Amino acid sequence: MKKYFKPGKFFTFLILTICMSSLAFAAKREFYEIKIYHLKSKDQETRVENFLKDAYLPALHRAGIKSVGVFKPVLTDTSAGKLIYVFTPLKSLDQLLKLPKSLDKDAAYLAAGKDYIDADYKNPPYFRIESIVLQAFTEMPMFEKPKLDGPKNERVYELRSYESHTEKIYWNKVKMFNVGGEVPLFRRLGFNAVFYGEVVAGSHMPNLMYMTTFPNKASRDEHWKAFSADEEWNKLKVNPEYQNNVSKNVQLFLFPTEYSDI
C-alpha cells in the first residue's frame, strides 16, 4: 500500500520550517565600526576628506559594502573641523578583520589614496584614529537609511552614547530598548534611526550607542518634545525594572557630508 504525506504533517512541517527560518534571520545582527578621525588643522581635514571621498568609500563599495556614512560635527559645535566620523555596516567581525588586506590588494584604492596612504611621518593626514565596534540590537538587527529630504548640510544626525555604572546595569538599559519598547517608541514617533548598537569595543564601556536623524534642528527639537510628552515613554521611564541604568548620556550633533551614502 502506498504511503501518502498527510496534510496535517505537511503543514506542521511548513510552519516549523518558517519559524526556524525566521529565528535564523532574526539572529543575524550586523556589526558596525565607527571610525573617528581626530584632526589638528584644516589641511588634515581636507586630506582625510579627499581620501574618504576618492579612495576609501569607492573601495568599500567594490568590496561589497554599499552604504558608508561620513559625518562631521555641526558648525556651531566646538569640535567642528576637528573630527570626522565614518560609520561602516559589516556582516561580521571577520569582515572587519579582513578589510585591510582587501584594501591592500585594490590597485585603484592605492592609487587614489596615495597622499593619505604614503604620507610622510613629518606630515601625517590626521592626529589619531579612534575606533568603536558595535553589534546591532536584536530589535533593529540591520541599519536603515533615513528617509529625509532637503540639503544635507542642514540635517541633524544625533549620535547618542548611554554609559552605565556596571555591565549588569548596562544590559538592563539594552533590555529597556529591546524588550521595554524604547526602539518601537522611537520608530512610532518618526525618529528615523540609522542604528542601535551594543558597544563591543570602545573607550567608554559599558555603553550603547544609537543614531537618530532629522531634516533640521527645529525638527529634532519637536521630535524630542513629543517624546518627552508621550504617554508610553512616561510609563516606561518610571518602570521600577529600568531605574538608574544610565550614568552618563553624551549627545553629538552631526551632519552628513555630500559624498556620504547615509
**Taken in order 143, 149, 152, 156, is the CA torsion positive or negative?**
negative
Residues 95/98/101/106 CA torsion (nearest 10 deg): -20
- pLDDT at position 26 over 60: no
Q: Backbone phi, then psi, for 162, in 5-degree steps?
A: -110, 110
Compute the average pLDDT of residues 68-77.
95
The whole-number pLDDT of residue 20 equals: 45
| High-pLDDT (> 70) share of the chain, % | 90
**Residue 17 forms part of a structural domain:** no
Cell numbers at 59, concatenated:
573601495
The whole-number pLDDT of residue 150 equals: 87
Q: Render the burial of 203-217: b for 16+ CB within 10 Å, e for the rest.
A: eeebbbbbbbbbbee
**Residue 21 forms part of a structural domain:** no
Pairs from 176-184 (Cβ < 8 Å, separation ≥ 24): 176/236, 176/242, 176/245, 177/137, 177/139, 177/208, 177/210, 178/137, 178/138, 178/139, 180/236, 180/239, 180/241, 180/242, 181/232, 181/236, 182/236, 183/137, 183/139, 183/140, 184/139
pTM comes to: 0.88
- Banded pLDDT at 8 (limits 50, 70, 90): low
**C-alpha pair distances (Å), 98 with each of 43, 60, 102, 103, 104:** 30, 12, 6, 9, 10
**Residue 69 forms part of a structural domain:** yes
The whole-number pLDDT of residue 25 equals: 46
**Residue 182 forms part of a structural domain:** yes
Domain hosting residue 118, numbered range: 29-256
94-114 residue pLDDT tens = 999 999 999 999 999 999 999
44-69 residue pLDDT tens = 999 999 999 999 999 999 999 999 99
Compute the average pLDDT of residues 120-146.
98
> CATH number of the domain that 201 lies in?
3.30.70.100
**Residue 53 forms part of a structural domain:** yes
**Residue 200 forms part of a structural domain:** yes
**Residue 134 forms part of a structural domain:** yes
- Banded pLDDT at 27 (limits 50, 70, 90): low
Alpha helices in the chain (DSSP H): 7-27, 42-51, 57-62, 93-104, 107-112, 114-117, 167-178, 182-188, 217-229, 231-236
- pLDDT at position 5 over 60: no
**4 or 208: which leads in pLDDT:** 208
**Residue 24 forms part of a structural domain:** no
Number of domains in the chain: 1
Compute the average pLDDT of residues 102-129.
98
